[in-house]
Chain A
């Protein structure tokens, strides 16, 4: 949904801002690999950097637990924003008789402001704020990353029983990873947005948990 929108935003940044010195990296967290994510990228005719991250390396590196999530990194490799539910725009679609609306129209504007003004942008966060926004990644959660990759390795080699075993282990070790849960659900008959996901979303709402860190920009 966001893949083509990011292309438009990337084009706007490079046409509207003089010498933007900016690179957009879109990363598909998808064990389905090129077969699943490739056609979606191709349909957007992207000029940004495209990565298909079958082992969820990027989410592990920056402690993301869901998609979409993003990090901004400046010229000196300093993180200036991290881990927000970063939809590119407001999306609307019909779900039966319901209309589902999600996303926001402020994040892309904030991104452009940073690309244009750099450190002077009001959207740049201090190192202390960024560090406070980095999610805890405990030893058990790191072990979950290792288990997830092990499961994916076995799936690629046709050992479905072992794949299941280690993906279940990853989910048990890091139950907060919506990425692991929904990626695993893609391999079930109900899919990643079926009954199980909606039950999970309802439990988050009931428990006051967020599927993403709330966007720290005034909407």
Chain B
């Protein structure tokens, strides 16, 4: 019989089944956050209200494009759609434009987005740390910016 070590079968299905987004139309996962959108359209693509873009990935829509920090990405007209309910922004088309990977569970309308490859360029070109953000056990933000001005070692471990 195999030796059983570092197994947590009690954690296999530990959670009660709960509604994914009881008061929303879709949930977007990105950078460790889960953002529930009150309104969304899904038909193979995820269309969101333009004002919700900043909530899901930090980009703001401006006349010059989708802007984050000091970078603006030009937006094609076909990333917007208009219907009787108003204006929509095609988030998945934007992701594809940014070569950003995503996986969708369309039955549940949950869309999980990976990091944008462009955010990693600094690491490959001049070894600058990419932006990241996690929270410590006390709920404080640990990020590239919070560590700036100090030497830092980030080391991973796991109970497993």
Contact indicator per residue, chain A 116-139, by CB within 8 Å of chain B (1) or not (0): 001000000001001100100101
Stretch in B8-16, B40-48, B70-78 with 4+ CB within 8 Å of A? B8-16
A71 at the interface (CB under 8 A from B): yes
Count of chain B residues with Cβ under 8 Å from any Cβ of A? 65
A211 located at the interface, meaning its Cβ lies under 8 Å from any Cβ of chain B in the complex? no
Interface size class of A (residues with CB under 8 A): 35 or more
A132 CB to closest chain B CB (Å) equals: 9
Max count, chain A CB within 10 A of own CB: residue among B34, B101, B117, B159: B159
Most buried by A among B20, B129, B150: B129
Distance of B23 from chain A, by nearest CB (Å): 15
Contact with B along A22-54 (1 / 0, CB 8 A): 111111111010111110110000000111110
Q: How far is the CA of A53 from the CA of B29 in the complex (A)?
A: 15
Residue of B13, B17, B134 most packed against chain A (CB within 10 A)? B134
- Whether a CB of chain A sits under 8 angstroms from the CB of B115 is yes
A residues near B, CB below 8 A? 1-3, 6, 20-30, 32, 34-38, 40-41, 49-53, 55, 57-62, 64, 67-80, 86, 111, 114-115, 118, 127, 130-131, 134, 137, 139-140, 142-143, 145-147, 149-150, 153-160, 162, 166, 169, 179, 182-183, 185-195
